[in-house]
Amino acid sequence: MDLSGWIDAFLDHLRVERALAANTLEAYARDLNRLAEHVGGDVDPNAIDAGHLGGLLAANVRSGFGARSSARQLSALRGFFRFLVRERQIKTDPTALVDRPRLARRLPKVLSFEDIERLLAAPDTTKPRGVRDAAMIHLMYASGLRVSELCALEVGDLDMKTGLVAALGKGHKRRIIPMGEVAMAHLTAYLRDVRPSQARPNETVLFVSPRGGRFSRQGFWKLLKRHARAAGITMPLSPHKLRHSFATHLLRGGADLRAVQAMLGHADLGTTEIYTRVAQDHVERAHARAHPRA
């Protein structure tokens, strides 16, 4: 089988065995197909060496690739060639000799406590749409859900007695997260007063659109931006900034890093550690403002 055939086999493996999301699979396909375009899709994978891969990364830089995009592509290439080693199609992994591009770690931008308070208070809870919006925003900030996880929640994923929500995350891994009393109160109002009149018959998804079906990620993005404007928040706001804010505010409040990792659903603790930097920056700024010798 040639290179293009093995790329298809690897993508099938990621789809079936690792259950990766469609967007992630598309990114893998783009990065691996660039390799096929660079060396030829009909070549034998055994003919590819570190020189070919270095040439590909250099060509990417000339065409405008940044370090982060190159690092992502190299990660896809490493996964692919390790797959070929496991399948005994090649003896050695050529990516082992390719250095990873150095990345400047960008700290995630987070909302202040004051901005969060204004955002949470923005929906008009005298109206059905406001009740739903408040429940969604409160739950997302209280539990650190990804927007895809929020929109995929079903009514049965909530345990209102214990105050826990079961989210289905990346790789179809389920995790249990506390919701907090305030978010529970908004969810109770939504489930009691709004959802019964809006959801289609036999609909199991938790948050429904005015048409009665599943609420989309794009729909949540739009409502979040609308309420951010109403709250006077000037920072560009995305659903993921709520997740960043959830993690950073927990750590500023003294939460254990491992507990935050579990709530976020991060496989690697190093991914969570970036939020400790943001929390520490907050402490350093407070010291600079308040200490007479700062």
Active site residue 109: no
Active site residue 229: no
- The yes-or-no answer on residue 170 being catalytic is yes
293 carries an active-site annotation = no
Which of 170, 175, 217, 225 is flagged as catalytic?
A: 170
Whether 146 is catalytic is: yes
Rounded distance between C-alpha atoms, residue 240 and residue 244, angstroms = 6
How many Cβ atoms sit within 10 Å of the Cβ of residue 49?
12
Catalytic residue among 186, 227, 243, 244: 243
Catalytic annotation, pick one of 240, 277, 285, 287? 240
Q: How far is CA 123 from the centre of its chain?
A: 25
To the nearest 10 degrees (0 to 180), the angle between helices 22-39 and 3-16 is: 170
- The question of whether 52 is a catalytic residue gets the answer no
Catalytic residue annotation = 146, 170, 240, 243, 266, 275
